[in-house]
Amino acid sequence: MKKILITGVAGFIGYHLHNKLIRKGHSVIGVDNFDHPCGAPIQCVKGDILNRSLMDELIAGCDIVYHLAAQIHVDRSYVERQLTFDVNVEGTKIILELCTKHNSKVVFPSSVEVYGTSQEESMSEEHRIHPQNPYAESKWEAEKLCAHFSGRYGTNVSVLRNFNTYGPFQNNGQYGSVIPIFVRRISDGLPPIITGDGKQTRDFMYIDDTLKGYELMTLYDTCDPVNIGTGTDVSINELARKILSIMNSDLSLEYTDPRPNEIMKIRGNISKAKKLGFYPTTTLRDGLKKYISWYDKIHQINQRTND
């Protein structure tokens, strides 16, 4: 049994990771400032990773720290650039300093966004780094901090580059993610709205597979980044049509202006992760069915509660 701290535990991935680790018998502490919670019920310490004294107290005695706390939304990073860098860069620096002090293992989820638009058929870890938005820039700066602490102080830190994860309790509001937003709109009888021409592609991974990658990184002893994705991509147009089909909807797609500096192609090369034992097993269609089934149940419960 390990003593584990999860920062950002009230977020979508943090919530699911917390529950899985508890089921496996670990002693898990969670901390979150509830700036952007996923809405799932969870008990944790309410606090901010920028509060050094609090984090010092929480990290002391921990074997592993999953550092998930971050400002994760690209659109918000343009509006609140300073907040994004304060949380994602300065917050990571504090976590690394304290984990070095207490000799705790750090698992740091970076993002596929650091690559920018793919210049190859699929993105390996050797793909060029070309952040195209403030969020991606902040994650790249945080990665460099991880490498610095690993090289200079021997901090035991592993970096994974997370591709697009989806699943139950993912946010579907203003700063939500595309799959939950599409499902919510279609469920409400509204068409999915697509930015740009919809030809941009993403590598979508169901939450169960993502968690396999996170746990695997605790066994990885170097700071060299590892891609955690599926190795396949789908256009946003095709994604929307798949969801419409599963939900038996005949709504049409609607389009709006493209985002600034939109990344047009994301597809992971996960050969390195496979060598470490990572094999995603949930197909996109099966994952979408699971998510839509969950959403329908929650939506019905909420309707009965409101009635």
**The one-letter amino acid at 96:** L
Q: May I ask the CATH class of domain 3-165+206-228? A: alpha beta
Q: What is the DSSP letter of 230?
A: -
Domain with CATH 3.40.50.720 in the chain: 3-165+206-228
Q: Enter the pTM of the model.
A: 0.95
Q: What is the DSSP letter of 127?
A: S
Please list, in sequence order, all residues whose beta carbon lies within 8 angstroms of the beta carbon of residue 235, skipping any fewer than 6 positions away: 198, 199, 200, 201
Q: How do beta strands 105-111 and 201-202 pair?
A: unpaired
Right CATH for 178-201+233-268+283-306 from 3.30.70.100, 3.30.70.580, 3.90.25.10, 3.40.50.2300 = 3.90.25.10
Domain with CATH 3.90.25.10 in the chain: 178-201+233-268+283-306
Closest CA to 260 of 200, 192, 196: 196
The per-residue pLDDT for range 135-176, each reduced to its tens digit, is 999 999 999 999 999 999 999 999 999 999 999 999 988 778
The per-residue pLDDT for range 219-278, each reduced to its tens digit, is 998 899 999 999 999 999 999 999 999 999 999 999 999 988 899 999 999 999 999 999
Active site residues: 135
| Residue 143 near residue 136, CB atoms below 8 Å | no
> Can you give the pLDDT at residue 176?
83
In the chain, the N- to C-terminal Cα span, in Å, equals: 45
The per-residue pLDDT for range 258-269, each reduced to its tens digit, is 988 899 999 999
